[in-house]
Amino acid sequence: MATTQVKNLGRIAASSCLFFLCDMQVKFRPAIPHFEELAKVSNRMVQVAKLLGIPVVATEQYPKGLGHTDDAIDISSARVFDKTAFSMVVPAVQDVMETEYTRKTVVLFGIEAHVCVSQTALDLLEKGYNVHVVADGTSSRSQADRCIAFERLKQSGAFITTSEAIVFELLGDSKAPFFKDVQALVKTPVADTGLFKNE
CA angle 52, 54, 60 (to 5 degrees): 135
Please name the helix (run of DSSP H) or strand (run of DSSP E) that holds residue 80, with its range, or none: strand 79-83
**DSSP, res 15:** G
Residues 81 and 62 sit within 8 Å (Cβ to Cβ): no
DSSP, collapsed to helix, strand or coil, labels residue 154 as: helix
Which residues are part of the catalytic machinery? 23, 83, 116
CB 24 within 8 A of CB 42: yes
Question: CB neighbours of 150 closer than 8 A, spacing ≥ 6?
Answer: 113, 133, 135, 138, 160
CA angle 130, 132, 134 (to 5 degrees): 170
